[in-house]
Structure 1
Amino acid sequence: MTPAPRPGRTLARMTGILTARPVPARSKAFDLLLAGSLCMVFGLLSIAQAGFEGILGFGMLVPLIWRRTHPALVFFGVSAVASVQWLFGAQLMPANVGLLVALYTISVYGEVRYSRIALGIGGLGVLMATSRYWTNSDWRQQVTMMVALGALVFGVWAFGERRRTRGLYVAQLEERADQLERDRDREAKLAVSNERTRIAREIHDVVAHGLSIMIVQADGGLYAADKSPEQAKKALATIGDTGRASLTEMRKMLGLLKQDEQPGLDPNQPRPQPGVSSLPELIDNVRDAGLTVDYEVTGEPRDLEALLGLTAYRIVQEGLTNTLKHAGPGARTSVLLDFGHEMLTVVVTDDGRGAGVAPSADPGHGLVGMRQRASISGGTVSAGPKAGGGYEVIAKLPYHLPTGGDQ
């Protein structure tokens, strides 16, 4: 099991997403305009107020051009210039506003750890400024200035942190929306793939069953052509009817492949599929092909879900198809539907040669297809030769999917 991410790691990851975004050109242009305006106003005022020392003011304003691309470097650089100002005893000047801009920037765009360090440096700067520039004031004025400067520094930093939190929230919402969109697209593709696989299985069952009947009828008609023309005509008629019915059903299946591409069609519209009620017609068609089939229903019949009914129908159809292919001439087949208390049992047996159903490497064919269909409904299929000859297919299909366990 993958451990849940800790809140600190989540915050760091989301901060990385926020800071890793490329800076738009208009934001860079704004920073250039901001730094230029501050230099023109506060830089020139600093020179007018402090003379030559006012040049230090430009060292606190010019770096603001890169405040978004390198917030930590800009803040520490501006702080270094302010430290030089303090060491040489230069007076406070209007250009010191660059410190507040840099502090705000690192609290918004910088890493969390650097933002905390910047707040500590800002608090240290308040103490240094108070000790340097208000030494001749009484203690009340010193405390007042210390509190005022501290409130200003903390207020600027807190406002930046609020902007950061809002940015992280928006970034998290965008990431979640992107993830939901990716999940939706993946589920849509998976649904389309599953639908196409189901349709391919249906086409195989329809074509295989129809062709098996047509082959048997064609062989019988060829054999009876000289001795019994009426039997040959009947076989040809059965071939034609079976071919047309199979072609019609196959066209319906192929039409489903194009349904998603046709506007105005509801993809959730129910699609009629054969069920256990269609088995008598299926068995009559097989009987017309010359195969002797006994059909029996035991237990109390009930209405089945569409998927379960279709599964039972296709298993019987596949069993009869393979009997036509492998059981040989004169084989007798029986189909049993047993409506038990908890499950439907489908049994298809024959007394032919017992060649059975060879498992196929392609999903959806032969015995593999039977087991795959049954597993979707939570059931099982067993197949194999019978003692004394013949072949037997037994499918156990629960009326409801089992709950619990790994599905």
Structure 2
Amino acid sequence: MTAHPAPAPGAGRLPRIPESLSSDPEQRVIVSIVTRLAGWRLADRAHPWVRLWGVPAFCATLGITSLLNPANTTVWPVQLALAAVFSVPLLWREHRPVLVFVVTTAVSVAGLALGTFNGADAARAVALFNVGRHGTPRQLAVCLSVTVAHLIVWGSVYWTGGQLQYATRPVVVTLLAISAMVAFAGLGLAGRLVNAVITTLEKERDQQARLAAAQERARVSREMHDILGHTLAVIVGLADGGAALAPQRPERGAETLRIIADSGRDALGELRRLLAVIGAEDSPPGGVPLAPQPGLADLDALLERFRAAGPTANLHAEGDLASLTQGLQLAVYRIVQEALTNTLKHAALDTTVTVRLTADADAVHVDVDDTGPARPAKTRGSGKGLVGMRERAALYQGEVTSGRNAHGGWSVHARLVATTPTHHAEKHPA
């Protein structure tokens, strides 16, 4: 019998409609219909044998009932043979739709020659439906033309032979039969179009999933850059300071090492939390809750670690900063963190840094100024830090500027709009 391929990946779950369609009120009816059809297709994939064998069995049953038609003068073995020849080819209706149509039409012509009206003749409608669903448009047009011509002959023969002597309007019945066959062909074509739509929606859903994964990887990359860049800069600064102080104040060595260890543990904890976000779907239920994203309340701890590396740091805050959204607070925190990291990399250890946060009705202003002086750079910066700050500000329709200041140091100014963040800013804070 016909071999059936294994279900395709994703065949065991109902396709999700992309948000761009499901969120549109005008498309809800269409989405509902497509979802229902997709559910039926899913059930068919789960139990393909039901439709494969059920349709031929139904047509064979109609052929058996024709034995009760007194107008049929053909012996019953011939009628049963006609019912079988009508029904059995339907098992290959999806893989060889045109061939099955030819076979069923030929059997119908044979029935006409024998003067036998067989209910299994409904197999021709099934065959025409599958030509519309799996054949080419040209094949469907040819098969439909053959069907119309055949029905005209079929009506003439059966009314002349008396099998349909109960019909008072033979022309109307013939037209109804033709209309029904055209409808079956149209349903097959519509089913093909619906499958194409569902396949397109599935592809769009997969593309959106891949795009979301790429955006998440980019977010994770920026977070790792900020976390590792700042922590390593603090550790390098502490190590340089500890090495310089070791001959004069050896007792500071243990304290410096402790701060280095604490900074490393903090960075490791943030990285674990960040990586856990990627694998959140695989995490067992009831697991340990993840640490929250840092916000403005964590700036004091950030500045403490910065001061431990040598520089002096001051924080000035104005306005209602506590009412800012979590995503906006995270963006401000990362901008300050990156600016302090650049100070550790490029300014002298005795520099003084002033961080000013000002929140007004429309925006949040972030100013980070150090007094320098600049020290010779052992390695050239990649520029990713400034790019990352600008990307975070862009999420909130803001901008970042930086440059030399009047004190001989470096200044960073960022402005982030607090009222109308761009899309996904709150859902996926960068």
- Normalising by structure 2, report the TM-score: 0.63
339 and 48 in structure 1: CA distance in 2 versus 1, 3 angstrom threshold: closer
Indicate if the aligned counterparts of 2:63 and 2:121 stay in contact, CA closer than 8 A: no
308 and 229 in structure 1: CA distance in 2 versus 1, 3 angstrom threshold: same
| Among candidates 392, 400, 403, match of residue 419 of structure 2 | 400
For residue 249 of structure 1, what is the aligned residue in structure 2?
Answer: 270
For residue 308 of structure 1, what is the aligned residue in structure 2?
Answer: 328
In structure 1, what is the Cα distance between the partners aligned to 2:276 and 2:196? Answer: 38
Q: Which amino acid aligns with 1:347?
A: D
For residue 296 of structure 1, what is the aligned residue in structure 2?
Answer: 316
Q: Which amino acid aligns with 2:152?
A: G
| Among candidates 374, 398, 401, match of residue 393 of structure 2 | 374
For residue 151 of structure 2, what is the aligned residue in structure 1?
Answer: 122
For residue 206 of structure 1, what is the aligned residue in structure 2?
Answer: 227
Q: For 1:344, what is the secondary structure of its paired residue? A: strand
264 and 191 in structure 1: CA distance in 2 versus 1, 3 angstrom threshold: farther
Q: Which amino acid aligns with 2:309?
A: A
Q: For 1:304, what is the secondary structure of its paired residue? A: coil
For residue 250 of structure 2, what is the aligned residue in structure 1?
Answer: 229
- In structure 1, the gaps of 5 or more residues are 1-13, 50-54, 86-91, 135-141
Give the share of equivalent positions with the same residue, in percent. 28
Indicate if the aligned counterparts of 1:298 and 1:338 stay in contact, CA closer than 8 A: yes
Paired residues, number: 359
CA deviation string 1:37-71 (max 9, x = no partner): 899999xx76779xxxxx9xx99995775464335
Q: Which amino acid aligns with 1:309?
A: Q
In structure 2, what is the Cα distance between the partners aligned to 1:110 and 1:98? Answer: 21
For residue 219 of structure 1, what is the aligned residue in structure 2?
Answer: 240
How far residue 109 of structure 1 moved from its aligned partner, in angstroms, is 3.2
Q: For 2:419, what is the secondary structure of its paired residue? A: coil
In structure 2, what is the Cα distance between the partners aligned to 1:265 and 1:199? Answer: 24
How far residue 256 of structure 1 moved from its aligned partner, in angstroms, is 3.8
Q: Which amino acid aligns with 2:340?
A: L
How far residue 286 of structure 1 moved from its aligned partner, in angstroms, is 1.3
Q: For 2:244, what is the secondary structure of its paired residue? A: helix
How far residue 245 of structure 1 moved from its aligned partner, in angstroms, is 3.1
- In structure 2, the gaps of 5 or more residues are 1-36, 133-139, 424-430
In structure 2, what is the Cα distance between the partners aligned to 1:201 and 1:403? Answer: 18
Q: Which amino acid aligns with 2:415?
A: K
Mapping 1:159-198, distance limit 5 Å? 187-188=208-209, 190-198=211-219
How far residue 322 of structure 1 moved from its aligned partner, in angstroms, is 1.0
Q: Which amino acid aligns with 1:115?
A: L
Indicate if the aligned counterparts of 1:299 and 1:339 stay in contact, CA closer than 8 A: yes
CA deviation string 1:112-151 (max 9, x = no partner): 6333652354235535776x779xxxxxxx9x78855445
275 and 382 in structure 1: CA distance in 2 versus 1, 3 angstrom threshold: same
- Root mean square deviation, CA, Å: 5.0
Q: Which amino acid aligns with 2:125?
A: Y
How far residue 246 of structure 1 moved from its aligned partner, in angstroms, is 2.9
Indicate if the aligned counterparts of 1:275 and 1:310 stay in contact, CA closer than 8 A: yes
How far residue 219 of structure 1 moved from its aligned partner, in angstroms, is 1.1
In structure 1, what is the Cα distance between the partners aligned to 2:109 and 2:144? Answer: 16
Pair 1:73 & 2:92 matched: no
For residue 340 of structure 1, what is the aligned residue in structure 2?
Answer: 360
Pair 1:285 & 2:285 matched: no
96 and 378 in structure 1: CA distance in 2 versus 1, 3 angstrom threshold: same
393 and 299 in structure 1: CA distance in 2 versus 1, 3 angstrom threshold: same
In structure 2, what is the Cα distance between the partners aligned to 1:396 and 1:301? Answer: 14
- Normalising by structure 1, report the TM-score: 0.66
- Higher RCO (C-alpha under 8 Å, 6+ residues apart): 2
In structure 1, what is the Cα distance between the partners aligned to 2:348 and 2:56? Answer: 86
Mapping 1:57-96, distance limit 5 Å? 66=89, 68=93, 69=97, 70-74=99-103, 77=106, 93=115, 95=116
Mapping 1:20-169, distance limit 5 Å? 26=53, 66=89, 68=93, 69=97, 70-74=99-103, 77=106, 93=115, 95=116, 97=118, 100-101=121-122, 103-111=124-132, 113=141, 114-115=143-144, 118-123=147-152, 125-127=154-156, 147-157=168-178
In structure 2, what is the Cα distance between the partners aligned to 1:240 and 1:103? Answer: 80
Indicate if the aligned counterparts of 2:151 and 2:177 stay in contact, CA closer than 8 A: no
In structure 1, what is the Cα distance between the partners aligned to 2:262 and 2:119? Answer: 91
Q: For 1:229, what is the secondary structure of its paired residue? A: coil
How far residue 261 of structure 1 moved from its aligned partner, in angstroms, is 1.9
In structure 1, what is the Cα distance between the partners aligned to 2:295 and 2:106? Answer: 79
How far residue 377 of structure 1 moved from its aligned partner, in angstroms, is 3.2
How far residue 218 of structure 1 moved from its aligned partner, in angstroms, is 1.4
Indicate if the aligned counterparts of 1:357 and 1:366 stay in contact, CA closer than 8 A: no
How far residue 217 of structure 1 moved from its aligned partner, in angstroms, is 1.6
How far residue 79 of structure 1 moved from its aligned partner, in angstroms, is 7.2
Largest Rg, 1 or 2: 1
59 and 260 in structure 1: CA distance in 2 versus 1, 3 angstrom threshold: closer
Indicate if the aligned counterparts of 1:214 and 1:242 stay in contact, CA closer than 8 A: yes
Q: For 1:263, what is the secondary structure of its paired residue? A: coil
In structure 2, what is the Cα distance between the partners aligned to 1:326 and 1:369? Answer: 18
Q: Which amino acid aligns with 2:151?
A: G
